[in-house]
Structure 1
Amino acid sequence: MIKLVVSDLDETLVGPDGKVSDVNVKAIKKAKAKGVKFVPNTGRGFQSVQPLLDTLGLREQENEYVISYNGGAIVENKDLKVLQTNALSFDQASQIFNVAKKYADYSTHVYTMDHVYVFNEIKEDMDYMLSRGVEPVMFTEDNLEKFRDDPILKVITMNSNVEKRVAMRDAVLKEIDFEVNATFSSDRYTEFNLSGVDKGNATLELAEKLGIKRDEIMALGDNSNDIAMLKKVGLPVVVSNANDAARNAAKFVTEGDYTSGVAEAINKFILGD
């Protein structure tokens, strides 16, 4: 029996307009009424997820959670209580940034606990973030000194060209002197977390806290940064717009995309509709 659903947001639950469809909201609320926990598991910071939690009836709820920053933080919704963080060190984040800043056709995001800071603003990137309720803060310094005393959960770069995303990953991996988890998301981002920090490990850490077994978890995703999550649970599901890498990690592919796929999976495996 499924007791926990962890779901990616962008392009899995959330569409291009930044909203969740009524059919998905209805299914999630029905699952919650049956005692099933629904946990957004996202690369975003937890602050930007709050309007979505409102829509789902999960905002400020005790014993309800969000996994953010690709597993970089686990947060209880009540009072935004941070239960766990897995941050890069200042030196590690600086090494990644020092590679990324050399490339003028990429924007670079630095995720602290409360903000997304963006170096080298690109309009396409800004428009995408704003559509997701993310309010980025611009910075122009060529170093991360201003963040020395802040936990840095991840560093990512944006370029809409897939070959350039791969090139950025390879450039960073070549230059740094530590292990990272490098993934891709939303057909635009190359993401860098500390090695071992991913959506899958964070899912199991939260499940252990809740007393939920691996085979009692359903995960929903669509992209490469969801693969670790899909591989760690009993029931890995992807929506129909998922890329090939994510599909290969799934046991079930929904007929619907982000507009209805989450509801389809919940209805099939939890509600029996």
Structure 2
Amino acid sequence: MQYKAIVLDVDGTLVAHGEPSARPAVAAAVKAAQKKGVKVVIASGRTSFAIEPQILGGIKPDYMICANGAQILDGQGRLLYSQDLTAEEMYALVDFFEDFDYPLAFNFTDNYYVYVEYKAMWEFYKKATGHGEYVLDGEDQDRHLESMPFGAFAILPPEQVEKFQEKYGYLGLKFVPYRPGYYDVMQADVDKARGMERLMELTGWTAEELVFMGDNENDIAMMQLAGCSYCMANGSEKARAAAKHIAPSVQEEGVRQVVEQLFLQ
């Protein structure tokens, strides 16, 4: 099969948790495949400003699917598609999280703004990614007056997700676990696969021409869509079950090994 694009998740797939960037050998393999004509797509829960070339180890993607599919950009950073939270959805999240003092951050075009419990959110993001410069104190809660966010990231006990849905389930918001207690929050019709389908409409690619690599539950729909999909060995149980193949772990540079096998033989 002649694959036209490799689609890569960032955290836990391309970049090991706690490390600041993709390892040089991993980035070199991806760039070598790109030189051979394979298109590179980054598909991440991160927003576009948090996917800089330095984080990607110098990889310059041809396209980016960001905020779990709520943003699509081309290689020059031009926005091709966006989908915002509604004011009702955003205010429901703020009201609930303020009641319990659970950390809540919104994904805006320029930075993550933490509306509830800034310090706790910053410390988590710094520990998880190795840097926290994109996480700003938004507890004055006025950033959305400039533009609405694309999504949210929330820290709360799993049982509290059920309580939120009991009260606000009519909104259809999804809490997709990054790991238990840590959630990407997005609209019902937003996920990486839906973003990929929109990109396929622009590029003419078919699902069979895609190779996808991810590690977590927000990658499951994409694993099911792509003709060839890998879950990292370090991935969640549900993600491993959804993927067509298992790749070596991010610590074993699984992306490098798969790219070399598929594209650089």
> Would the alpha carbon gap of residues 35 and 168 (structure 1) be closer, same or farther in structure 2, given more than 3 Å must change?
farther
Return the match for 1:193 from 186, 192, 217. 186
3-state SS of the aligned residue for 1:55?
Answer: coil
Counterpart contact for 2:48–2:64, Cα < 8 Å: yes
Return the match for 1:170 from 162, 169, 179. 162
> Would the alpha carbon gap of residues 211 and 86 (structure 1) be closer, same or farther in structure 2, given more than 3 Å must change?
same
Amino acid at match of 2:139: T
Match of 1:19 in 2: 21
Return the match for 2:70 from 69, 72, 75. 72
Question: Over aligned residue pairs, what C-alpha RMSD do you find?
Answer: 2.1
3-state SS of the aligned residue for 1:241?
Answer: coil
Residue pairs, 1:1-273, within 5 angstroms: 1-15=2-16, 16-52=18-54, 55-58=57-60, 64-78=62-76, 80-104=77-101, 106-118=102-114, 119-120=116-117, 121-122=119-120, 124-128=123-127, 131-132=130-131, 134-141=133-140, 144=141, 146-158=143-155, 164=157, 166-176=158-168, 177-185=170-178, 189-271=182-264, 273=265
Deviation digits for residues 100-159 of structure 1, max 9, x if unmatched?
22223x311111122210120215314236624642110224xx5541441210022125
Q: Unaligned regions of 5+ residues in structure 1, if any?
A: none
Counterpart contact for 1:12–1:258, Cα < 8 Å: no
3-state SS of the aligned residue for 1:74?
Answer: strand
Amino acid at match of 1:127: K
CA distance in 2 between partners of 1:68 and 1:168 (Å): 26
Instruction: Report the Cα offset of residue 258 of structure 1.
Output: 4.5
| Deviant stretches of 4+, over 4 Å | none
CA distance in 2 between partners of 1:126 and 1:97 (Å): 19
How many equivalent residue pairs? 259
Amino acid at match of 2:160: M
TM, length-normalised to structure 1 = 0.87
Instruction: Report the Cα offset of residue 255 of structure 1.
Output: 2.5
Instruction: Report the Cα offset of residue 6 of structure 1.
Output: 1.1
Deviation digits for residues 45-78 of structure 1, max 9, x if unmatched?
111111347733417xxxx211110111001231
3-state SS of the aligned residue for 1:192?
Answer: strand
> Would the alpha carbon gap of residues 22 and 145 (structure 1) be closer, same or farther in structure 2, given more than 3 Å must change?
closer
Identity of aligned residues (%): 22
CA distance in 2 between partners of 1:116 and 1:84 (Å): 19
Bigger mean CA offset, 90-99 vs 125-134: 125-134
Deviation digits for residues 160-193 of structure 1, max 9, x if unmatched?
xxxx1x2232222222131123201156521111
> Would the alpha carbon gap of residues 92 and 125 (structure 1) be closer, same or farther in structure 2, given more than 3 Å must change?
same
3-state SS of the aligned residue for 1:40?
Answer: strand
